[in-house]
A = this chain, B = another copy of it.
Amino acid sequence: MPSEQVENYLKNIYKLQTVEEKVTTSLLSEKLEISSASVSEMIKKLAEEGTLKHTPYKGVELTKEGEKLALKIIRRHRLWEMFLVQVLHFQWDEIDEEAEKFEHIMSQKMEDKIDKVLHYPTMDPHGDPIPQRNGTIKPNSAYPLSDAKKSTTVRVVRVSDTSSELLQYLSSVGIVLHKKIFVKECLRFDNSLIIKIHGQKEITISNKIAMNIFVEKI
């Protein structure tokens, strides 16, 4: 049974691997806000335990075993988020922090009960896929709104879940999961987007915000 801290390392390595080509100890250090000396020590320990491989200067890579553990934690995190929203009526910007704690103490029985009560969901409230019990995860084909072409209509399928401020802002302007968005214009100056949200009037959003909204072509 890995410790809470070990679980956090594995989870973050997994997530970083989907975004960055190299997951170095120093990148991890930055993400986890732990000194690189400490990360280095921990990586050494995890490599000895067989959950990952570290090639210095090339980055770490989870083993089958490590990936399985990481997906377990991510599954618990996302199931719990879904539960917070659907059963306890939390807002979507309040749940990430809560789930950070609960993901580590959920027993298998608990996981199964929640899965059942929610009717075996496949997405969490931000549109992230929930890994299944057998460890499979549906890759998300969505791309950031910032990459959408001018004059196209897209549908919001996922939103970055790490900033509750962002989530609050999106709710306030009416950007929620499954909304249709028409991309009217992209300003050359700073890549701001002028968009029209289905059933509402036009607004302008910054490039940084657009990078955190994931969409699919309709």
A55 to chain B, nearest CB (A): 36
User: Which of B88, B109, B117 touches A94 (beta carbons < 8 Å)?
Assistant: B109
Type the 1/0 row for A106-117, where 1 means its CB is closer than 8 Å to any CB of B.
010110011001
Binds B, one of A28-36, A97-105, A179-187: A97-105
Interface size bracket, A side: 10 to 19
A37 at the interface (CB under 8 A from B): no
Interfacial chain B residues near A109, Cβ < 8 Å: 90, 94, 98
A203 at the interface (CB under 8 A from B): no
Interfacial chain B residues near A114, Cβ < 8 Å: 88
Interfacial chain B residues near A113, Cβ < 8 Å: 88-90
Beyond contacts A89-B113, A98-B107: 16 other A-B pairs, Cβ-Cβ < 8 A, are A87-B87, A87-B117, A88-B110, A88-B113, A88-B114, A88-B117, A89-B117, A90-B109, A90-B113, A94-B109, A98-B109, A98-B110, A101-B105, A102-B102, A102-B105, A105-B105
